[in-house]
């Protein structure tokens, strides 16, 4: 068996030449490399492995389906796992949001939302509507449509001429604001920017607004003020604009409610994208969920012009069904709330010890902390310090995996997502904090 350093040059490539240990197996909240080292999955991969790794019930359900059929093309066969998963998914949704379209990941789910919105507009005589307003910072996916909505220059710049850029408004980064407004007032003020933008674009040309109800990788678990999304809903209604929630990261229990949007029940979306925790890493799976009011006219007027070969794959859907059964059996949504609050308290405690932690935020088990040069002004650490990579590497050395990004509210900053699987127990929280503290001590030196 070759060790990490002895491995030959690879034919495989991703973002960079950086090499990582070879994954051997994974169980619970740990991943093991081929040398037998255990790594604590401090960010559930990329906020994916909500129910932990190698859950025996999910594996058994997948094996049962594997023995029957792994693929049936959706235009040739319906399949029971897809049917059952659609029904199950609809059961978590607000009234009327009961039409489900399966895909293989988050970007595909977002693409599907845009395409449904546009085809709904066409089916209802609103052909002038095509602009989808989104926010900066935001992340909606890597495919060209989803990327066009993404407010993150580091991702979009290389393709700028190829993306027909959609209008962007700032996301509320209230923790950076230095004014005399209350949080509620700021929430409304940020939402009102949408109205200004709609007016500026010409309301008849605006199709939809897309938002992560709680920010993910782009903002580092930024929770909007309680007034924000309800006001956004009012504005969308006023102008007949569709509201799309990107719940790719926040869905399936991560934030302590089944949906991130469930924290604001008066602000319901028209269309939603789900993925990540939905099949929790057991299969490539995502979904677009839409209100039947949108889907029916599209299907009545010639059909939905869209689709992916692997859509509704029976094996992936069997995995999704089994994952949701585990979320319910283990009551992981409540667990995310309870354990998330404990973990957040521990992270907040770090602020006493490390003056360079400027903010700790998030809901449920979607948590993050941000490193700053000055807590008063929230001035970011100098870019040259490379805090974003350094702290991640220190954590890696201690066999803790955390997800980091360097970007926020138009200002460059370093934030770290601490989002372990929702099954994490109290002792494991202790272990996570011990490793993280070790990494922060080394970073501080
Ligand atoms: N939307 C959000 C909010 C995400 O966090 C992500 C992935 N980080 C995506 C969309 C894209 O998902 P995927 O990488 O599965 O295509």
CB of 46 within 6 A of ligand 1: the answer is yes
Mean pLDDT, rounded, for 124-130: 98
Mean pLDDT, rounded, for 63-82: 97
Q: Is the pLDDT assigned to residue 219 strictly greater than 60?
A: yes
pLDDT of residue 444: 93
User: Could you report the predicted ipTM of this complex, rounded to two decimals?
Assistant: 0.99
What's the length of the chain?
445
Q: Determine how β-strand 403-408 pairs with β-strand 400-401.
A: unpaired
Phi, psi at residue 153, to the nearest 5°?
Answer: -55, -35
DSSP string, 325-391: HHHHHTTHHHHHHHHHHHHHHHHHHHHHH-TTEEEEEEETTEEEEEEEEETTTTEEPPGGG-HHHHH
Are residues 135 and 50 located together in one domain of the fold?
A: no
Ligand 1, pocket-test mutation among 47, 103, 148, 216, most atoms within 8 A of CB: 216
Are residues 33 and 85 located together in one domain of the fold?
A: no
CA of 418 to the centre of ligand 1 (A): 17
CB of 275 within 6 A of ligand 1: the answer is yes
Q: Is residue 18 in a domain? A: no
Of 261, 294, 329, which residue sits at a domain end? Answer: 329
Are residues 320 and 347 located together in one domain of the fold?
A: no
Are residues 238 and 381 located together in one domain of the fold?
A: no
Q: Is residue 342 in a domain? A: yes
CB of 249 within 6 A of ligand 1: the answer is yes
Q: Is the pLDDT assigned to residue 2 strictly greater than 70?
A: no
Contacts of residue 160, Cβ cutoff 8 Å, sequence gap at least 6 = none
Are residues 163 and 45 located together in one domain of the fold?
A: no
For ligand 1, atom 13: residue with the closest CA? 106
Structure confidence by residue, pLDDT tens digits, 298-311? 999 999 999 999 99
Are residues 154 and 258 located together in one domain of the fold?
A: yes
Q: Is residue 2 in a domain? A: no
Of the listed ranges 157-171, 185-199, 354-368, the least confidently predicted one is 157-171
CB of 419 within 6 A of ligand 1: the answer is no
Confidence of residue 1 (pLDDT cuts 50, 70, 90): very low
For ligand 1, atom 15: residue with the closest CA? 106
Provide the CATH number for the domain around residue 176.
3.40.640.10
Task: Quote the domain boundaries for residue 362.
Answer: 23-54+331-444
How many C-beta neighbours within 10 Å does residue 271 have?
Answer: 28
E strands, 164-311, are 168-170, 206-211, 242-246, 271-274, 286-290
Ligand 1, pocket-test mutation among 139, 213, 214, 419, most atoms within 8 A of CB: 139
Are residues 374 and 237 located together in one domain of the fold?
A: no
Are residues 353 and 323 located together in one domain of the fold?
A: no
Are residues 110 and 167 located together in one domain of the fold?
A: yes
How many C-beta neighbours within 10 Å does residue 330 have?
Answer: 17
pTM over 0.95: yes
Q: Is residue 11 in a domain? A: no
Q: Is residue 345 in a domain? A: yes
Residue 46: its H or E element: helix 44-47
Residue 132: its H or E element: strand 131-136
Q: Is residue 346 in a domain? A: yes
CB of 213 within 6 A of ligand 1: the answer is no
Q: Report helix, strand or coil for 404.
A: strand
Q: Which residue has the tokens 């449904």?
A: 116
Specify whether the CB–CB gap between 336 and 256 falls below 8 A: yes
Are residues 232 and 321 located together in one domain of the fold?
A: yes
CB of 417 within 6 A of ligand 1: the answer is no
Are residues 257 and 373 located together in one domain of the fold?
A: no
In the chain, the number of structural domains is 2
First-to-last CA distance in the chain?
36
Of 329, 344, 364, which residue sits at a domain end? Answer: 329
Of 329, 353, 368, which residue sits at a domain end? Answer: 329
Ligand 1, pocket-test mutation among 48, 103, 106, most atoms within 8 A of CB: 106
Q: Which residue has the tokens 């939809």?
A: 208
Confidence of residue 408 (pLDDT cuts 50, 70, 90): low
Specify whether the CB–CB gap between 119 and 295 falls below 8 A: no
Nearest by Cα to 120 from 11, 30, 38, 241: 241
Structure confidence by residue, pLDDT tens digits, 362-383? 999 999 999 999 999 999 998 8
Confidence of residue 410 (pLDDT cuts 50, 70, 90): low
Specify whether the CB–CB gap between 370 and 383 falls below 8 A: no
Are residues 247 and 344 located together in one domain of the fold?
A: no
Q: Is the pLDDT assigned to residue 36 strictly greater than 90?
A: yes
CB of 139 within 6 A of ligand 1: the answer is yes
Distance, CA of 368 to CA of 408 (rounded, Å): 12
Q: Is residue 15 in a domain? A: no
pLDDT of residue 225: 97
Q: Is residue 4 in a domain? A: no
* Burial of 168 (C-beta count, 10 Å sphere; 0-12/13-18/19+): middle
């Amino acid at each position: 068996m070759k060790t990490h350093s002895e491995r030959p040059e690879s034919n495989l490539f991703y973002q960079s030449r950086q090499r990582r240990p070879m994954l051997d197996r994974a169980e619970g909240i740990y991943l093991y490399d081929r040398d037998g080292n255990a790594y604590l999955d401090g960010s559930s991969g990329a906020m994916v492995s909500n129910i932990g790794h190698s859950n025996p019930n999910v594996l058994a359900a997948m094996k049962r389906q594997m023995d029957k059929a792994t693929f049936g093309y959706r235009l040739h066969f319906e399949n029971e796992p897809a049917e059952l998963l659609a029904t199950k998914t609809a059961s978590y949704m607000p009234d009327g949001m009961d039409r489900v379209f399966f895909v293989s990941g988050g970007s595909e789910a977002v693409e599907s939302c845009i395409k449904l919105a546009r085809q709904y507009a066409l089916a209802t005589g609103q052909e002038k509507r095509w602009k989808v307003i989104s926010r900066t910072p935001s992340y909606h996916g890597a495919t060209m449509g989803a990327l066009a909505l993404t407010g993150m220059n580091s991702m979009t710049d290389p393709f700028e001429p190829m993306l027909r850029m959609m209008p962007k408004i700032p996301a509320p980064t209230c923790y950076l604001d230095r004014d005399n407004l209350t949080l509620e007032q700021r929430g409304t003020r940020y939402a009102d920017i949408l109205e200004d933008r709609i007016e500026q674009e010409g309301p008849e040309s605006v199709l939809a607004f897309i938002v992560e109800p709680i920010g993910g990788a782009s903002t580092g678990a930024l929770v909007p003020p309680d007034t924000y999304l309800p006001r956004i809903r009012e504005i969308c209604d006023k102008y007949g604009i569709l509201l799309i929630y990107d719940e790719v990261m926040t869905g399936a229990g991560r934030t302590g409610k089944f949906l991130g949007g469930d924290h604001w029940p008066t602000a319901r979306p028209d269309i939603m994208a789900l993925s990540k925790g939905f099949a929790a890493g057991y299969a490539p799976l995502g979904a677009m969920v839409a209100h039947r009011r949108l889907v029916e006219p599209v299907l009545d007027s010639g059909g939905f012009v869209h689709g992916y070969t692997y859509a509704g794959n029976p094996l992936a859907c069997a995995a999704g069904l089994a994952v949701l059964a585990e979320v319910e059996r283990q009551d992981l949504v409540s667990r995310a709330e309870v354990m998330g609050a404990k973990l957040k308290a521990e992270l907040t405690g770090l602020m006493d010890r490390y003056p360079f932690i400027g903010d700790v935020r998030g809901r449920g088990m979607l948590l993050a902390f941000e490193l700053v040069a000055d807590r008063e002004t929230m001035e970011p650490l100098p870019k040259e310090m490379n805090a974003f990579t350094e702290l991640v590497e220190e954590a890696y050395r201690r066999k803790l995996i955390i997800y980091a990004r360097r970007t926020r509210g138009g200002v460059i900053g370093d934030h770290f997502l601490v989002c372990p699987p929702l099954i994490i127990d109290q002792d494991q929280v202790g272990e996570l904090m011990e490793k993280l503290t070790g990494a922060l001590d080394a970073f501080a030196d």
